């Protein structure tokens, strides 16, 4: 991993911390660091869920334009795979994820937030995909994940104009899930993930996979994905524990092992 990206773990929740002052510009080093942090978070059994956080002032103001400005077409052919790898690694993390957005989440920073399951934004946050203003388009998933999240019309509005949206508009169009005072963003993200600590880890993983994979296929295929994952959970200890607890004590009282 790199010093620009850290995985910090406390009380069952991992924090992937972006740390490249002043604006957390997403250069190649930080992109590779995100991939490594996601892989570590996936493997660690003491991590039930993950917050992605850029600090109190800014989430990530975009890609490192100085780094990209000198790239040729062939340079970008090679680099573009990494552009999608780091957001894909986050999107495929089989644990719940929340982007804790402060300040700016623009361009690649917005794409990092889009790769999370949920987004909590500061009331003064600004989000957007301004790549069009540089003569390019989003390249780390912005055209695809944004359209799936807010619909094609709203996505085209943001992508084709490059305009920024404030937190309240982002909430109204479904780009973020919750808006809180800036000082409360990180704590709110951790609170949102706290219920997953000590939960049925394989059921949570299966539920996330069923929704994400199901969105990419037709209904019948999605139902088959769900059926297969549902049946597979009958091989877990947590399924037996949860059902036995329900029969004996009623709902919501099971103590799971994550196994």
Strands (E) in 82-177, as ranges, are 97-101, 104-106, 118-122, 126-128, 164-166
Backbone φ and ψ for 111, nearest 5 degrees, come out as: -65, -35
Catalytic residue chosen out of the listed positions 8, 67, 69, 131:
131
Q: Please answer whether residues 85 and 79 qualify as being in contact, where contact means their C-beta atoms are separated by less than 8 angstroms.
A: no
Q: Please answer whether residues 111 and 83 qualify as being in contact, where contact means their C-beta atoms are separated by less than 8 angstroms.
A: no
Q: What is the distance of C-alpha 31 from the center of its chain? A: 14
Active site residue 220: no
142-150 vs 152-161: helix axis angle to the nearest 10?
140
Catalytic residue chosen out of the listed positions 56, 67, 69, 111:
111
Nearest C-alpha neighbor of 89 from the set 175, 191, 23, 16: 16
Active site residue 111: yes
Active-site residues, by number, are: 111, 131
């Amino acid at each position: 991993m790199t010093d620009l990206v850290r995985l910090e773990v406390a009380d069952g929740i991992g924090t992937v911390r972006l740390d490249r002052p002043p604006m957390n510009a997403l250069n190649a080093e930080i992109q590779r660091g995100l991939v490594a942090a996601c892989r570590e978070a996936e493997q660690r059994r003491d991590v039930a869920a993950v917050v992605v956080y850029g600090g109190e002032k800014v989430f990530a103001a975009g890609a490192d334009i100085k780094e990209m400005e000198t790239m040729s077409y062939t340079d970008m052919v090679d680099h573009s795979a990494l552009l999608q790898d780091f957001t894909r690694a986050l999107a495929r993390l089989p644990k719940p994820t929340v982007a804790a957005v402060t300040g700016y989440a623009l361009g690649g920073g917005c794409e990092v937030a889009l790769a999370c399951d949920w987004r909590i934004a500061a009331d003064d946050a600004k989000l957007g995909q301004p790549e069009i203003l540089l003569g390019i388009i989003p390249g780390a998933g912005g055209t695809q994940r944004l359209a799936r999240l807010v619909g094609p019309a709203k996505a085209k509005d943001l992508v084709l104009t490059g305009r920024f949206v404030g937190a309240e508009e982002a909430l109204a169009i479904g780009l973020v899930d919750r808006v809180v005072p800036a000082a409360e963003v990180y704590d709110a993200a951790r609170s949102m993930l706290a219920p997953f600590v000590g939960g049925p880890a394989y059921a949570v993983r299966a539920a996330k996979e069923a929704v994400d994979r199901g969105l990419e296929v037709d209904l019948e295929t999605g139902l088959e994905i769900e059926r297969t994952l549902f049946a597979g959970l009958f091989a877990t200890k947590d399924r037996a524990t949860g059902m036995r607890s329900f029969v004996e004590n009623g709902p919501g009282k099971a103590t799971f092992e994550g196994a």
